[in-house]
A and B are shown apart, each in its own frame.
Chain A
Amino acid sequence: MNVTTRARRAMVATAAAAALALSGCSAGDSGDTTDDPIVIGISLPLTGDFSEPGKGVQRGYEAWAKIVNDKGGLLGRKVELKILDDQSNADRIVADYEQLIGKDGVDLVFGPFSTRLVIPAARVAEEYGMLFVEPAGAAPEVFQQGFKNLFYAAPAVADDHYNHLAEYIIGMPADQRPQTVAYAAMDDPFAQGTAYGLKAKLEEAGIRTVVDEVYPPNTTDFSSIAAKIAASNADMIVGGTQYQDAVNLIVALQQLNYQPKLAAFSTAPTNPEFAKAIGNKTEGILAPTGYTDKASYPSNVEFVAKYKEMFGTVPSEDEANAYTTGQVVAAAVEAVGCAEQGECQQKLVEWLRKNTVETVVGPLSWDETGRPQGAHMIQQYVDGEIQIVLPAEAKEADLIYPKPNW
């Protein structure tokens, strides 16, 4: 019995291996003729930790595809988006881009959401020689990996998000400005990057850090962090956050009746669900944003109008970043005149390195590591609505200080 079982076993194993190889053969790659649509491969976190902004990015890409196709497409060919869900997993996203580039043979790729996911995805693209423009990888680490094909499609990197706010605070008279600050940041390169960028500048100006907490991304219980912040009575709270963690932290702070004079959180306040999630007590909350729908760049006017037609609301930052990515790649493709894997990708990279692209967030240009050369604006909830308050040249309302009770 042992003999037959062993032999049988080995044969089943090899049969399965053969089956695996053969089944893989069923996947065909698309032949490229000039009438075929340009297929763009994207992996997004549609579920999981980053799903809210992930879905925003998806809407932005879809709006871009529609607008481009309505105008006749790129290089005369329609564009087609192939979007996979990576469930906010660094593991999955690698497999997704591997599948898109290696198996499905897509012509171009767009980047995903969240810095944490961008680095592994960018590596896949890099090792296949593809251009990689991404809407959401803003932390310093992204630009220190030695990627040669990466471009970030937004005005500024994470560290510089709060620059205008730092300037404003330091510029206030010494007796009025906040003396103590509490920082709570998610252990995520982007979220932490924004908070720590602000921290560095404020500490340099002598504003004391009284609480400095970092928490893992799946933290949901903020009672003890909130207790520490409330006990410190800091004048200002800075959150390096994504979405749900900001909501949870704010609710916990509300439960402890902590009332700061200034409250700034990254990402969450730009999300449409945010106000309802914290009981509509949003007045005075600040956030950095790379985008305002009221900006008057010509492509933005068109974008806002068409987006409103498609989805019924005005676009926010994530959608705009996605749209910008599409614009950047489209500009390169139109200029160079090709859209396929192989040498074409290198030509696209070189063109972007040397040129400026007009987008819905303004003109963008990059240094040799893909860092954009602009700055973010600061928004605040004023009278129940999001308004730009900094920098002075772009402002729609005056910054409220101190913050009303929440």
Chain B
Amino acid sequence: MRSGSESRRRIGTLARLLALAIGTALVLSFPQVAPNPYVLSAGVVIVNYAVLATSWNLVGGFTGYISLGHGAYLGLGAYGTGLLVTRADVPSFVALVIAAAIVAVLAIPIGIASLRVRGASFVIVSIALVLILLLVFQSWASFTGGSNGLVVPRPFPGLRRPEHHMVFFYLFCALLALALLAWWIIDRSRFGLGLKAIREDEDKAQALGTPTFAYKLAAFVVSATFTALGGGMYALWFGDLDPIFQFSILTGAYMVLMALLGGVRHLFGPVLGALVVGYALEYFKLEYGDTQLHLVATGVLLGLVVLFMPDGVIPAVADLYARFFKPQAASIREVSTAELLAQRAAEAGAQPGGGDGGPGGEPGGTSVPTSAEAKR
């Protein structure tokens, strides 16, 4: 038995690694496969979404603190990078790193203030943060360019547009790999265990000695930093910043939707969500033109996810599949009806006179083989 499960596990790991390798190869070959630069630019946007969703998941998925205002760090990263490049003449990618560092430092007091409250209050505070930053960046036009927008110079000026898209596609993929690595490391660590404890029941975790506040803050800062990196990279790629898009509650909502849809408890969950939602958005735009229906679709999708699939689409679908095709696994009973009847018939046959194999008999724990078969 033991060697059987060990070899099964080894095959499982191999299968996983193989799937990962194929997936990576497919993703990295996308720029060559893309039929025109427009599709490539859509791909860049989707990878950007994947980075943002995974970064959000570092705090939202682990601690259960749902922040609808993560757009704030996106905007800060974008504007930080843009302003450093335009005002301080810092080279583009150095500016990116410095801006992310600044956001990390800023996230500490913000986190200390926001994480004092929980649940819905926390969501309100996160929304308030985005709105206030939007106001500030719109009004402080002399510094930020206000609603005129901030033009961020290209880091590689000579490139034609298609090559520009391709370079940034790979850069975003690298950033995504970093974010996924960070998630993977945290997931396996004691730190991650503490965070998950916070998600399950914060008071009990605290009673058991987990330094909940410090852990929450750490996750918050890491998440904000990665989001800022994503935002800064976007600024370098897109080149034109406007407060109303950078500090957008809608973008924050997309991040939450993608992570929730894909599944917050899994490594590739947000990536999957980003693929689905990002692709759906592009498709909507192309087929139905630029109407506001994509907002309605987002709302409906988010509503459905919240109502029916709060753990993500894959667990929900897996549950449905199990309910219809593998009723044994989803059932609380340990033997099926047919088996129960067979058991009772066998008992009635083995003990002439009935015994206790009547209708009130207990279903489980009669004979060893049946129980072993019934269990998964």
Instruction: Judge whether B15 and A7 touch: CB under 8 Å.
Output: yes
Q: Is B268 part of the binding interface, using a Cβ–Cβ cutoff of 8 Å? A: yes
Instruction: Judge whether A90 and B242 touch: CB under 8 Å.
Output: yes
What's the tally of chain A residues with a CB closer than 8 Å to chain B? Answer: 56
Residues of B within 8 A of A (CB): 9, 12-13, 15-16, 19-20, 22-23, 26-27, 30, 33-39, 41-43, 46, 138-139, 141, 146-149, 151, 160-162, 164, 238-240, 242, 244-245, 263, 266-269, 271-272, 275-276, 279, 285-286, 289-290, 314, 318
Instruction: Judge whether A7 and B151 touch: CB under 8 Å.
Output: no
**CA of A18 to CA of B244 in the docked complex: distance in angstroms?**
33
Instruction: Judge whether A94 and B272 touch: CB under 8 Å.
Output: no
Minimum C-beta distance from B263 to chain A (A): 8
**CA of A91 to CA of B290 in the docked complex: distance in angstroms?**
12
Q: Is A85 part of the binding interface, using a Cβ–Cβ cutoff of 8 Å? A: yes
Q: Is A148 part of the binding interface, using a Cβ–Cβ cutoff of 8 Å? A: no
Contacts of B162 in A (CB 8 A): 102
Instruction: Judge whether A6 and B271 touch: CB under 8 Å.
Output: no
Contacts of B286 in A (CB 8 A): 99
Instruction: Judge whether B276 and A128 touch: CB under 8 Å.
Output: no
Closest to A85 in B: B290
Instruction: Judge whether A13 and B268 touch: CB under 8 Å.
Output: yes
Instruction: Judge whether B314 and A5 touch: CB under 8 Å.
Output: yes
- Tell me whether chain B's interface is mostly helix, strand or loop, or mixed: helix
Given A29-B36, A127-B164, A141-B148, CB of A6 within 8 Å of CB of B266: yes
Given A9-B314, A27-B36, CB of A123 within 8 Å of CB of B239: yes
Given A20-B43, A98-B41, A116-B148, CB of A187 within 8 Å of CB of B272: no
- From 243 to 291 in chain A, residues with beta carbon under 8 angstroms from any chain B beta carbon are none
Selected from B36, B272, B290, the residue in CB contact (under 8 A) with A9 is B272
Contacts of A189 in B (CB 8 A): 148
Contacts of A172 in B (CB 8 A): none
Contacts of B13 in A (CB 8 A): 3
Contacts of B26 in A (CB 8 A): 14, 17-18
Instruction: Judge whether A187 and B30 touch: CB under 8 Å.
Output: no
Contacts of A11 in B (CB 8 A): 19, 22-23
Selected from B36, B240, B267, B269, the residue in CB contact (under 8 A) with A94 is B240
Interface string of A185-203 (1 = CB under 8 A from B): 0011100000000000000
Considering the complex of A and B, which 4 residue pairs feature the smallest CB-CB distances, nearest first?
A: A103-B38, A3-B12, A24-B39, A102-B37
Contacts of B276 in A (CB 8 A): 16
Contacts of A124 in B (CB 8 A): 161
Closest to B263 in A: A9
Instruction: Judge whether A187 and B23 touch: CB under 8 Å.
Output: no
Contacts of A99 in B (CB 8 A): 38, 286
Interface string of A74-91 (1 = CB under 8 A from B): 000000000011110111
Q: Is A120 part of the binding interface, using a Cβ–Cβ cutoff of 8 Å? A: yes
Q: Is A308 part of the binding interface, using a Cβ–Cβ cutoff of 8 Å? A: no
Contacts of B34 in A (CB 8 A): 21, 24
A-B contact pairs, 16 of them (CB 8 A): A5-B318, A7-B19, A8-B314, A14-B23, A17-B275, A19-B279, A20-B39, A20-B279, A21-B39, A86-B290, A94-B238, A98-B37, A128-B160, A187-B138, A187-B141, A216-B146
Contacts of B149 in A (CB 8 A): 90, 116, 119-120
Q: Is A363 part of the binding interface, using a Cβ–Cβ cutoff of 8 Å? A: no
Instruction: Judge whether A9 and B268 touch: CB under 8 Å.
Output: yes
Instruction: Judge whether B30 and A17 touch: CB under 8 Å.
Output: yes
**CA of A24 to CA of B283 in the docked complex: distance in angstroms?**
10
Minimum C-beta distance from A224 to chain B (A): 14
Closest to B242 in A: A90
Given A13-B271, A84-B289, A94-B240, CB of A217 within 8 Å of CB of B161: no
Instruction: Judge whether B289 and A127 touch: CB under 8 Å.
Output: no
